[in-house]
Amino acid sequence: MKILNEAMEAIKSPDMEMHARALERLANQARPAGSLGVLEPLSARLAAIKGCMDVRLDRKVIVTCAGDHGVVAEGVSLFPQEVTAQMVYNFVNGGASISVLARHAGAEVRVADLGVNADFDADLPIFHKKVAKGTRNFAKEPAMTRDQAVASIEAGIDIVDALVKDKGLDMLGTGDMGIGNTTPSSAIIAAFSGIPVENLTGRGTGIGDDALRNKIRVIEEALALHQPDPADALDVLSKVGGFEIGGLAGLVIGAAKHGIPVVCDGLISTAGALVACELVPSAKQYLFVSHKSVEAGHAYMHDRLKLSPILDLGLRLGEGTGAALAMEILDASTRVLSEIKTFEEVGIHNAN
């Protein structure tokens, strides 16, 4: 756990004096107090993270972590496992939903193979971080070993290190790809929260009523079989998680290590963020949640994290699409803080 421990020790708190200064400037701008809603606290958080009032998010990267899941053998998904690998190629070729929305947001998309059940050529331009070719079927045995859980998290940290070393990084987004991965994500929030599985489990790729009941049963029986310890995030990840979810957790921890704001996407990315923040609570200081998915468990994850989603657009795709859209809002918030003049700067008498 050397990489993980070093990352944990490297995380520093944002500049709360800068945060206070940002709030003061926002309160004194030439407009009604609070009139720009959530843009105001977002901009103050970014100012604290970056240590300045004029925050520039020039280099934005969304890392889409991919992995397969043995639990698909239980009939929990509408699509076959082969789609995971096919979508990796779609991401690389720039034809996926995240490719389009990231371009609009001025963000680069990078794909990371954490556990796809396929062999990719070594020269394919992705992060080659495969822990294994898919997790085991957690309906029958733990999804992975504890060592594999650590390896998946450390792979995510390594990816952030590489991005920072390569061209620098101003903001990171997290996204996912993995057929069947709403099942481990629902299992993770159930394990941490103790909330009934039926309240947390949605239709994923669009399964019908019978398949949904089966999905709920599979998760309930797996939790009863493995008894993951909610006080031990690595135990939860290893017993009912996924390799890409571990990678997503590592991205959040790696971003916090480097003092970089990180915005997570939907249910699966937020499951990774939840694992990260349960394991390393200080990482949450750098985390933003992009949107509220229609997936049932997503709002409960936000409640657990005590963070509010920036958007609510009825999304349920993943890939990092919500993160890309939220990046545009976060960009706008930085301009709100820096460029809107105060009453004093424009010579207007503030009656308040």
* Catalytic-labelled residue, pool 40, 295, 319, 328: 319
Q: Which residues pair with 113 in a beta bridge?
A: 66, 128
Q: Where are the beta strands (DSSP E) in the chain?
A: 60-67, 107-115, 127-128, 171-177, 262-264, 287-289
Cα 336 to the center of its chain, rounded Å: 25
Q: 43 to each of 23, 25, 29, 170, how far by Cα in Å?
A: 9, 11, 13, 14
Distinct helix (H) and strand (E) counts, the chain: 15, 6
Rounded to whole angstroms, how far apart are CA atoms 153 and 241?
12
Nearby residues of 252 by Cβ (< 8 Å), 6 or more positions away: 156, 174, 262, 264, 272, 273, 276, 277, 283, 286, 287
Cα 189 to the center of its chain, rounded Å: 14
Examine the residue annotation and report whether 319 is marked as an active-site residue of this protein. Answer: yes
| Angle subtended by helix axes 146-167 and 267-279, to nearest 10 | 100
Q: Output the DSSP codes for 98-136.
A: HHHHHHHHTEEEEEEEEE-SS---TTSSSEE--SSSS--
Rounded to whole angstroms, how far apart are CA atoms 102 and 113?
19
Residue type, 165: K
Tokens, residue 169? 């990084």
Rounded to whole angstroms, how far apart are CA atoms 255 and 181?
23
Instruction: Let me know: does 175 contact 319? Beta carbons within 8 Å.
Output: yes
Rounded to whole angstroms, how far apart are CA atoms 289 and 137?
29
Q: Which residues are identified as catalytic?
A: 319
